[in-house]
Structure 1
Amino acid sequence: MSIGTKTAAAATALIAAASLVGCSGSSSSGEDSSASASTGTYSSVEECTGAGQVWLVVSTDQGEVLANQCVGNPENGAAALEAAGLTIARDGNSQFICQIDGYPSECTVTSDSYWNYYHAEPAGTWFYSQESADTFAPEGGWIEGWCYGTTCTPEGIEGDAAPQIDTSGPAAGDADETAAADDQDQSPEAEQSSAA
């Protein structure tokens, strides 16, 4: 074997070892590394949801997209955020998610601005979540969406797969979901008063 061939073989071995290190590790949502690694192979909403996995999009009121990616099959909405590598912080009283990846800068929950949580089929209609991110189990083939503000739409998905808000009337979705435009009682203020 020539020196050039040995050098090329050594370089290939180093690249392979580095790739394995990047794919190993633990996931806080309980998925094994092989399941997490497979989510990275889907680069579009259609590929991800077509494979029965969940797509996640998270956007701020400043137009910044914090996540727009396939997250596999997380056990709940909070695990979907973690699968995307986002950190979450919670309000000390209500346990409402008040920060995603450090946004906003202060972890407070008010009726004026908070993280809104949605679900949608690709090219369908956004439905405001009727469950918390800790109890809702995302359905494979669907999109999870988060946006910050009083009224907002998750942004970042473009093209034919982008869901829309239906403002024309009640949505024809699952019995436990309604259109975001029709939902008036899921704000942190209402959630806190119903918990009292």
Structure 2
Amino acid sequence: MSRSERNPGSARRSGGRCLRTLDCSSTCRSRLAAFAASLLSALFVFAFPAAPAAAHDGCSDVTVVVDFGALAADPATGCAADPANGLDALAGAGFSVTEVASIRGMVCRIDELPESNCGAAPPAKEYWSYWRADSGDADWAYSPVGGADAHPEAGDVEGWVFGDGSTPPAIAPDDAAASTEGQGPDAEDEASFTWIIAVAALAVIAALVIWRMRRDRRA
């Protein structure tokens, strides 16, 4: 005779306990899944806000334009945070800079263009001219000083053009500033912090689910 046959009441109690355990496990898992889905939805909205909200986050520092002229198809823009001078702004905006060896502050190559040994001054018809626009200016002005001696401030727009120096950047200062919306170190730091929060929250959810499943198994 089996144990259940000897004690039918014990079997009923045991079976009921098992059913209650399975039912609780299923309910808890469903609740945890719903909670995880809700939290993930909230994190998605927080990490990826609607496009119109980002439209107010322009470059609050110095906008830099590089017009490669005949060397490349389109001008490129970037955002530099609190640069010490024009060359620092150019590098801070993400462009590589090589100076003329014999002339302090004179730019020879930007992003390795044009191909040159940079030993002497470039020809007058093929050099990097330097242009500037104060915050709110609609037009470019040829800079009377070199990049090493300029002191751009927040809101200013800097421009570099490869050619004979007679033509400013192909993109207007206000358009250049608008093109750098959402750029800059503040935006990058905010995005990194958002992802740290998201990853931490997911780790907590995973740990909670694993703990609950192990407890259900032991029960």
The offset of 1:101, in angstroms, is 1.0
- Could you tell me the percent identity over the aligned residues? 25
The offset of 1:66, in angstroms, is 4.7
Can you list the C-alpha shifts for 1:2-40, whole angstroms capped at 9, x where unaligned?
246458868998xx9xxxxxxxxxxxxxxxxxxxxxxx9
The offset of 1:105, in angstroms, is 2.5
Quote the residue 1:139 is aligned against. 153
Residues 85-96 of structure 1: matches in 2 within 5 Å?
Answer: 85-95=94-104, 96=106
Aligned mates of 1:112, 1:61 — CA distance in 2: 12
1:41 aligns with 2:57: yes
Which letter does structure 2 place at the counterpart of 1:85? G
1:100 aligns with 2:110: yes
Aligned mates of 1:68, 1:6 — CA distance in 2: 40
CA gap of 1:93–1:8, structure 2 versus 1, over 3 A, is: farther
Which of 144, 163, 169 pairs up with 1:154?
169
Aligned mates of 2:140, 2:172 — CA distance in 1: 12
Residues 1-196 of structure 1: matches in 2 within 5 Å?
Answer: 2-3=32-33, 5-6=35-36, 41-42=57-58, 48=59, 51=60, 53-62=61-70, 64-95=73-104, 96-108=106-118, 109-121=122-134, 122-151=136-165, 152-157=167-172, 161=174
TM-score normalised by structure 1 residue count: 0.53
Can you list the C-alpha shifts for 1:121-159, whole angstroms capped at 9, x where unaligned?
33433222122211210133321111110132112237x
Rg larger for: 2
TM-score normalised by structure 2 residue count: 0.48
Bigger shift: residues 149-158 or 97-106: 149-158
Q: Verify the 8 A CA contact 1:55 1:68 in the aligned structure 2.
A: yes
Aligned mates of 1:148, 1:73 — CA distance in 2: 25
Q: What do you get for the CA RMSD once the two structures are aligned?
A: 3.5
Q: Specify which structure has the higher proportion of helix.
A: 2
Aligned mates of 1:88, 1:8 — CA distance in 2: 48
Which letter does structure 1 place at the counterpart of 2:126? S
Gaps of 5+ in 2: 1-30, 47-55, 177-219
Q: Verify the 8 A CA contact 1:97 1:115 in the aligned structure 2.
A: yes
Q: Verify the 8 A CA contact 1:115 1:148 in the aligned structure 2.
A: yes
Gaps of 5+ in 1: 17-39, 43-47, 164-196
